[in-house]
Amino acid sequence: MDLAGRVAIVTGGGTGIGRATSIRLARAGAKAVVINYSRSAGEAESTAEEVRALGSEAIPYRADVADESMVKAMVASTVERYRRLDVLVNNAGTTHFIAHPDLDALTDEVWNEILGVNLKGTFFCCRAAATELKKAGGAIVNVASIAAHRASGSSIAYAVSKAGVVQLTRALALALAPDVRVNSVSPGLVSSRWFSKSFGDEAAAAQEDAFAKATPVRKIASPDDVAQAVIALLENDVITGQDLVIDGGKNILYQPLA
């Protein structure tokens, strides 16, 4: 797909991978990027300004992707304004940091919040956008995680939600074929402000250094590295139903149990 002149929605588009993807879409010539956010209004507007500076239109749009009515309204507003929708990038996500052995901490509230945003939210966005994407011969990229493939991640609920996103990607690739291609990316550790805020600058830097040394390429991904992969999947017209791991090759290493 040539991204020039296209209209895109990027969920969680104001920060991290979503921000980097929005900017890369603008650099690729997108006509407009709808930058979805739920709480980060200031960051969404800042990203919108960067997108506009690159010559594309940009609209920050507040919607909780776990609320299907808000998702439908976002898609309807986009189509009403631009008369089309070509690209959907499902990047919005949430988590709770819970040690995997602590099963009692995985309350209904935790499960409902994480699955509601990460898995059901991704599905709600795909379903709401499907009709317009079919008309446009469009494409979807879902942001999953390396936690979908290994017993790792911030919590079991998070890992399960992202594994669901990978399987949802495969199922939708068939359900929406041949009109819409659906792929996903599974980043490993990504160097980001969110990671630093979660663990503190010093601890985050130490973890990033350790992770980088454990990868064949001796580095970890930036948000822009992941966004580059998202754009590549959007542009390639013969790839669908695939999940691309972005973790510096760490996933190919044999890691025996201690």
CA–CA distance, 222 with 227 (Å, rounded to integer): 9
Q: What is the pLDDT of residue 217?
A: 87
Tens digit of pLDDT for each residue in 105-115?
999 999 999 99
- The strand order across the sheet containing 7-10 reads 57-62, 32-37, 7-10, 87-90, 139-143, 181-187, 243-246
Tens digit of pLDDT for each residue in 120-175?
999 999 999 999 999 999 999 999 999 999 988 999 999 999 999 999 999 999 99
Selected catalytic residue, list 37, 61, 82, 158: 158
CATH of domain 7-190+223-245: 3.40.50.720
What kind and span of H or E run contains 228? helix 223-235
pLDDT bracket for residue 211 (50, 70, 90): confident
Q: Is 158 a catalytic residue?
A: yes
Residue by residue, DSSP assigns 110-129 as HHHHHIIIIIIHHHHHHHHH
Contacts of 8 (CB under 8 A, 6+ apart): 22, 25, 30, 32, 33, 34, 85, 86, 87, 88, 89
pLDDT bracket for residue 215 (50, 70, 90): confident
Q: What is the rounded average pLDDT of the residues 33-61?
A: 97
**Paired tokens of 115:** 């699955």
pLDDT bracket for residue 212 (50, 70, 90): confident
Tens digit of pLDDT for each residue in 50-61?
999 999 999 999
The domain spans of the chain are 7-190+223-245
